[in-house]
Amino acid sequence: MRFEGKVAVVTGGANGIGRATAERFLGEGARVAILDREPEAARAWLADAAAGASAAVIACDITDAASVDAAIAETLGAFGRIDALASVAGGDRPVADEFDEQHWRDIVDLNLQGPVRLIRAARAALLESRGAIVLVSSVNGVAAYGEPAYASAKAGLTLLAKNLAVELGPSGVRINVVAPGTVRTRVWDAQEGGADAMRRLYPLDRVGEPSDIAAAIAFLASDDASWITGVTLPVDGGSLAGPAHLLGGRIWGD
């Protein structure tokens, strides 16, 4: 019960990693504000959650500053404080021209400027509680996996966290980043073979589950990580360690 008596805010909490993160915080005793553009989807799963009474579902679009400000204000109205901010919402979309200017604006706005809006809106509350911020990036923001607009936006979260770690650290606020590899979410449902088509890239011989990422987020938001700030933690089944599909087990081969 690491978060008993504390309040967590989770964006993108209706589905996937965001939902798993909200469930993790609730399971560890937090009261949770679930921010999402699909509030009804969040309410649907909360109806079956044992800790659902400890959650508030708030409509929020992180690409809209007024929406973010209103959501944070509603969170403070409901719970009175914010101890942890988990910025999970983000994503990419297929595009014919990887360098289309509007595509870059949209992707950077969602994946980099969106978290900035959240931090700005919640900053005063986090300073008061000496709270923790966790941003969700991607292995795409650490190494070359393609999708340059998405990768560049996610890479920006690492330097955002480093700068804010230095700025906010003396006030007791920590900020860290998790960088997931392939995770079994609805994004992969329409892909041939689903998320498991990427399994060969991972030394641990499986793709990630939303709960894997939620566990890392909860750790970094908790007092167990009280001397960790400004860090980007890969949660990637070992994919950044090396090309598992090329080695083929030959290190320990016959």
Contacts of 208 (CB under 8 A, 6+ apart): 180, 181, 182, 183, 184, 235, 236, 237
Task: List b or e across 80-115, with b for residues whose CB sees 16 or more CB atoms inside 10 angstroms.
Answer: eebbbbbbbbbebeeeeeeeeeebbebbbbbbbbbb
Catalytic residue, from 25, 150, 202, 219: name it: 150
For residue 243, the 8-state DSSP code is: -
Residue 150 among the catalytic residues = yes
Report yes or no: 38 and 206 within 8 Å, Cβ to Cβ: no
DSSP string, 90-154: ------S-TT-HHHHHHHHIIIIIHHHHHHHHHHHHHHHHT-EEEEE--GGGTS--S-HHHHHHH
Burial of 53 (0-12, 13-18, 19+ CB in 10 A): exposed
Q: Which residues are catalytically annotated?
A: 150
